[in-house]
Amino acid sequence: MEFEQIEEPNVQKPIIIAAMQDMGNVGSIVVNFINESLHTKPFRTAKTPFPTYVVDRGGYIDLPDESWDYRYTEDLIVFGGGKGQPQSNSELNALCEDVIQISKKYSAKFIYTLGGFHTNRIFDEKPKTYITTTSTELTNQMKKLDVETTPQKSIITGFNGLILGFAKKHGIQGIGMYGELNEPEIPQYRAAISIIKTLEKLTYRKLGDTSKLEIMAQDLERKFRN
């Protein structure tokens, strides 16, 4: 994994929001929404030097853009979004370690990550967001804010789970937020909206107007009904 520092952000003890593309594209939808809504600025890039696949455009190939940005605004650092995740465990671990080192460099106290929660529960247009944290003490604090914790034991794979393990290992508090979805193969805008609302509740800050995401959810639903 290659890292390039573009500039030094002027942030003090920021909150870190770090998530990558996963089931239903939930991680990317939320990260891209926050970056657009808050007009974040890039300051660091992570890039894999050895692609594990090529894209056939129908007679010719392109190399995939496997890079992810660190962006910042007003004591907030946002990492991830984009397309895909590292394909090797060594690159995934290097990426998690870099997020931790950036967190330490700017004295971040909290890391939030997010993604999809595959369920068979029928939730119509109001998926729940479940949280899990890096300690039982933090989980008990979160329960006082009327949020729901993950309902059963499970293994969380990929960046959006592993980053919590790295945070715990390095003594940084972390919260994972996972929005319900029934069909992980298609973009899940309602799960993203649910996570954004939960994130606003936990961080005490407004992240933006989600009406465009609601319209995108409705358009997608009409498409599949037809």
Mean pLDDT value of segment 29-34:
96
Mean pLDDT value of segment 63-91:
88
Which residues on neighbouring strands pair with residue 56, listed in sequence order? 61
Query: Tokens representing 87?
Result: 């394909």
pTM of the model: 0.91
The residue ranking higher by pLDDT, 97 or 53, is 97
pLDDT for 99-141, tens place per residue?
A: 999 999 999 989 999 999 998 888 878 899 999 999 999 999 9
Separation between Cα atoms, residue 89 and residue 94, nearest integer Å: 8
Separation between Cα atoms, residue 160 and residue 58, nearest integer Å: 33
What average pLDDT does the chain have?
Answer: 91
Q: Decide: 16 and 112 in contact? Cβ < 8 Å.
A: yes
Considering only the C-alpha atoms of the chain, give the largest distance between any 2 of them, rounded to a whole number of Å. Answer: 57
Torsion over CA: 178, 183, 189, 194 (sign):
negative
Q: Which of 73, 71, 29, 27 is nearest to 177 (CA)?
A: 27
CB-based contacts of 47: which residues, under 8 Å, 6+ apart?
A: 1, 2, 3, 4, 66, 67, 68
Question: Is residue 224 over pLDDT 80?
Answer: no
Domains of the chain: 2-225 (3.40.50.10900)
Q: Quick one: pLDDT at residue 54?
A: 85
3-state helix, strand, coil in the chain (%, to 5): 35, 25, 40
